[in-house]
Amino acid sequence: MALPPGPRSSLWSLVRYFRDPMGVMPAMAKEYGETFTIPGNPPLVCTGDPEGIKAIYAANPDTLEPLSKDLAFVLGDQSLILIGGPEHRRKRKLMMPPFQGARMRAYGAAMQRITEQHTAQWEPGRTVGGHETAQRISLEVILEVVFGLREPAERAELGRQLTELLEGFSPLLGIFPWLRREFGGIGPYAAFRRRQRAVHERVDALIAAAREDEGRDDILSLLIGARDEDGAPMSDEDVRQQLLLLVVAGHETTAIAIAWGLYALHQPQNVDVLERLRAELRALGPTPQPELVAKLPYLDAVCRETLRRHPLAPAPAPRRLLAPMTLGGYELPAGVGVAAAIGVAHLRAQSHPDPLRFRPERFLERKPSPFEYLPYGGGARRCLGAAMADYELRVVLGTLVHRFGLRLASNEPDRGKVRAANVGPAHGVKLVVESRRPVPGGS
């Protein structure tokens, strides 16, 4: 059966992706059309056409499964992101309540406090790393709201173990299964397994402690208390796998989004956007409440525009077809991979006029459909943490812009760099602190 056209070489496509992760998909769409095939085993049909995206997200979820389960040795084989069918639905329902919009107010104070703590040393004249600071903030937020660790020392210990595990992970282990052997305790896999065991022990101890303590309302405690339709709870092993998924899926993603927001807002050509945002924040007074910051309409538009202009991955979470599907006029057979190409959809002039320009106003003028604008994916697997990520992006960016006058240390455009499953800024978004508004009653 004929698949949509596309490049001939999978290796060359991969090289192009690493060289220009943001530009490659729009370039392929220009060459081959909005629905194209990247060769491989299986071939992956990507589409940026809203009709094609709708076909993927509206399909019966039982006819699709995650394309790759290669990361089961990292996340566990019951990790929500790796399972499909009725088991995925059951688990997702159990995990959903802590991520519903109404819960976010409870997390906002921690997000703001942690942002203030991590920028306490930002003094005028200093050059600071926007991405690095965002990474530290988002990791601490996860540790507090997910694991309930309110003490900085407790957060530091688990944070260190998790960072060692994630940063020490060699991508080669993901690509070559034959490397996943312990070889008598030496080599990258043995080192990975040692760190993984240490994290598991620590998380298991936190689960045991949470079972003893009924008065908590962090996500870990909510997962322990969750019951499915038959009244069954999640096992400890299951809770641990899902907690680690939340760290992996929620930490670097949010940090990258904050970093892109800082980058876009401080580009010289976007000075009017920054001014308008500052004025909106100033109107909230010297100590804005996080829930008021999170509701600001222009900040909301800025955050949406950040995720449109700088999507985190050009075609995240590909699926494998378990039944044939019609896509872009092609009859795709079962077995083929399909992916919504966010990187194409978000830069389509028909959906987002003047697509390369950072113009938050577009979101105040028109609401794009969920198949034209999909930073969190869609359908039955739409990002579980979307409400939390949206809230955190607003509170952290809002707090930083309210508190500091910043400028980019370099005005060189940042074309992005592949960072594990995401595309982040290549140069860390270095910023020079120009001014700092004092915290009333604080330092």
> Under the rule (CB under 6 A), what is the footprint of ligand HEM?
80-81, 92, 245-246, 249-250, 253-254, 257, 312, 316-317, 375-378, 381-385, 388-389
Question: Minimum Å distance from CB 165 to ligand HEM?
Answer: 17
CB nearer to ligand HEM: give 251 or 433: 251
> Could you tell me the smallest distance in angstroms from the CB atom of residue 394 to ligand HEM?
11
Distance CA 266, CA 260 (A): 10
Beta bridge partners of 424: 417
| Identity of the residue, 254 or 399, whose beta carbon is nearer to ligand HEM in the bound complex | 254
- CB burial of 341-374 (b: ≥16 within 10 Å; e: otherwise) equals bbbbbbbbeebbeebeebbbebbeeeebebbbbb
Neighbours of 324 (CB within 10 A): 14
Q: Which two tokens stand for residue 386?
A: 């979307």
The residue (of 316 and 428) whose beta carbon lies closer to ligand HEM is: 316
CB-CB contact of 127 with 430 (8 Å): yes
User: Least CB distance from residue 308 to ligand HEM, whole Å?
Assistant: 11
Closest to 398 (Cα-Cα) out of 252, 268, 278: 278
The distance of closest approach from Cβ of residue 176 to ligand HEM in the complex, given in angstroms and rounded to an integer, is 25
Round to whole Å and give the CA distance between 380 and 99: 15
Provide, rounded to whole angstroms, the least separation between the CB of residue 438 and ligand HEM: 30
> b/e per residue, 397-420, with b = 16+ CB within 10 A?
bbbbbbbbebebbeeeebebebbe
Query: At closest approach, how far in Å is the CB of 83 from ligand HEM?
Result: 8
In the complex, the smallest distance separating the C-beta of residue 385 from ligand HEM, rounded to whole angstroms, is 2
In the bound state with ligand HEM, the residue whose beta carbon lies nearer, of 36 and 99, is: 99
Q: Nearer Cβ to ligand HEM, position 288 or 343?
A: 343
CB of 154 to ligand HEM, least distance (A): 19
Q: CA-to-CA distance for 283 and 398, rounded, in angstroms?
A: 12
**Cβ-based nearer residue to ligand HEM, 239 or 246:** 246
* Contact criterion met (CB below 8 Å) for 376 and 382: yes
Closer residue to ligand HEM (CB): 6 or 316? 316
Residue number with CB closer to ligand HEM (253 or 270) = 253
HSE, CB side, 13 Å, CA atoms: give it for residue 20: 10
Of the candidates 87, 34, 40, 85, the one whose C-alpha atom is nearest the C-alpha of residue 60 is 85
